Amino acid sequence: MNVLDQARAVGDAVLYEGYLLYPYRASARKNRVRWQWGVLVPPSYASAEIGEHASARVECVLEPLERTILRVKLRFLGARTRPGTEWDEGVEHEVDFELPLSELPAEEPFRVHELAGVLTARVDPLDGPFGGARLRVEVHNTTSWPSDGVREHALRHALLAAHLVLSVDTGHFLSMLDPPEWAKPAVETCKQERLWPVLIGDTSRSTVVLASPIILYDDPAIAPESPGDLFDGTEIDEILTLRTMTLTDEEKREARATDPRAAAIVDRVDAMPPELLERLHGAVRSVRPVEPSVVVAGVRVAEGSRVRLRPNLRGTDAQDMFLVGKTATVRVVLSDVDGVTYLAVTLDEDPAADLQHEHGRYRYFSPDEIEPLEVAE
């Protein structure tokens, strides 16, 4: 998958995040209050007091070359009432802009059916010997609509889940989360309003940035285990799939009648083979194996070491209080994305410890939460 395809895949998740929540029926209370982020309403309805806005802005730092061309893809949903129902379905829209940096600032109007807007862009060279520039892109909904004060009506004249894909043909964008030292002052002065820029395809520099209404880390990607969109929260695929399986035939009929995407979810779950469901059971990517051992209180602790648990009771898992003093066996020494070391263990008293190990199901503790009992062979 190239970086633009990756940006589109993540952008699709942004478009439909919360679009239609389980149980995927129009009658469900949670599906009667929708369109919560990336919403750019018409100016007549916009009000900071009620948290509704007609514009969004993103700023980022890039290192352009002499003839760099900026390409901007604006993506959003437009709401329309599905014929014969009271259900508002989303219709995807895209608007493309090609802007040579040498011709900025620029103001580009656009119209999609009854929706109107303006995209503006400017680039300012950074002070100092390192070069670089600050790019600002704004999107404004300029649709003329005599507001009646009803949000549901305003949403039919709004850009929903609006986001941008920015790309350059030469040069590159810098990470806003972990910029090089010389760029940090410029990054700190960048102002984001309802859009947040992250790199696609890398975590330090890239030719593509996704400006998302949902804050993400650099280089976000769709989990390869996910068989398709579920439109719900953080895509907790297994539990949502299992819950969908419990719908009655009548509930499934209502879900299929609500929206074509809901029908696709129900059909996909009904036809899901057991091996695909098993694949959804979990994958750990935030930690990775590191050195084969870690020294705790002067003792080398590695795979196979027996330890006594002394969990920090101010930690995040309140149930750790029941593990104080219990013995465990270290299965893996791991490190997270910040370089912090953890020990993956199974409880010695757990009759399913070997099965847990086989499936990679562990309890995780930091080195200061364990007491070495014996060294691994």
Note the pLDDT tens digit of each residue in 26-79.
999 888 888 888 999 999 999 989 999 999 999 999 999 989 999 999 999 999
Measure the CA–CA gap between 309 and 370, rounded to whole angstroms.
5
Measure the CA–CA gap between 337 and 351, rounded to whole angstroms.
32
Q: Hey, what are 198's tokens?
A: 């992250």
Measure the CA–CA gap between 333 and 288, rounded to whole angstroms.
8
Measure the CA–CA gap between 33 and 176, rounded to whole angstroms.
33
Note the pLDDT tens digit of each residue in 319-367.
777 889 999 999 989 887 667 888 999 999 999 998 888 877 889 898 9
Taking the mean position of all CA atoms in its chain, how far away is CA 213? 10
Under 8 Å between Cβ of 176 and 187: yes
Q: Hey, what are 349's tokens?
A: 């008293």
Who contacts 325 (Cβ-Cβ below 8 Å, separation ≥6)?
308, 309, 310
Please give the model's pTM, rounded to 2 decimal places: 0.77
If you average pLDDT over every residue of the chain, what do you get?
Answer: 90
Note the pLDDT tens digit of each residue in 140-197.
999 999 999 999 999 999 999 999 999 999 999 999 999 999 999 999 999 999 999 9
Tell me what pLDDT residue 322 has: 84
Note the pLDDT tens digit of each residue in 186-204.
999 999 999 999 999 999 9
The type of residue at 368 is: D
Q: Identify the bridge partners of residue 307 per DSSP, sorted by sequence position.
A: 328, 372
Tell me what pLDDT residue 286 has: 60
Local confidence band at 283 (pLDDT 50, 70, 90 cut-offs): low
Tell me what pLDDT residue 312 has: 82
pLDDT over 60 (residue 316): no
Measure the CA–CA gap between 78 and 219, rounded to whole angstroms.
27
pLDDT over 70 (residue 318): no
Which helix (DSSP H) or strand (DSSP E) does residue 135 occupy? strand 133-141
The type of residue at 41 is: V
| Percent of the chain's residues with pLDDT above 90 | 62
Under 8 Å between Cβ of 203 and 174: no
Note the pLDDT tens digit of each residue in 211-234.
999 989 899 988 777 777 888 655
Q: Residue with structure tokens 């847990």?
A: 356
327 or 278, which is more confident: 327
Q: Please report the domains of the chain, with CATH numbers, ordered by start residue.
A: 35-222 (no CATH), 287-374 (2.30.30)
Measure the CA–CA gap between 152 and 330, rounded to whole angstroms.
55
Q: Identify the bridge partners of residue 371 per DSSP, sorted by sequence position.
A: 308
Tell me what pLDDT residue 32 has: 84
**What per-residue string of b and e applies to 269-300 under the rule 16 or more CB within 10 Å gives b?**
beebeeeebebbeeeeeebeeeeebbebeeee
pLDDT over 60 (residue 92): yes
Local confidence band at 278 (pLDDT 50, 70, 90 cut-offs): confident
Tell me what pLDDT residue 161 has: 96
Under 8 Å between Cβ of 132 and 59: no
pLDDT over 90 (residue 290): no
Averaged over 204-211, what is the pLDDT?
97
pLDDT over 70 (residue 314): no
Under 8 Å between Cβ of 145 and 45: yes
Q: Hey, what are 152's tokens?
A: 């549901």
pLDDT over 90 (residue 90): yes
Note the pLDDT tens digit of each residue in 3-30.
999 999 999 989 998 899 889 999 998 8
Residue 174: left (phi > 0), alpha (psi -120 to 50), or beta? beta
Note the pLDDT tens digit of each residue in 236-264.
787 888 889 999 999 999 999 999 999 99
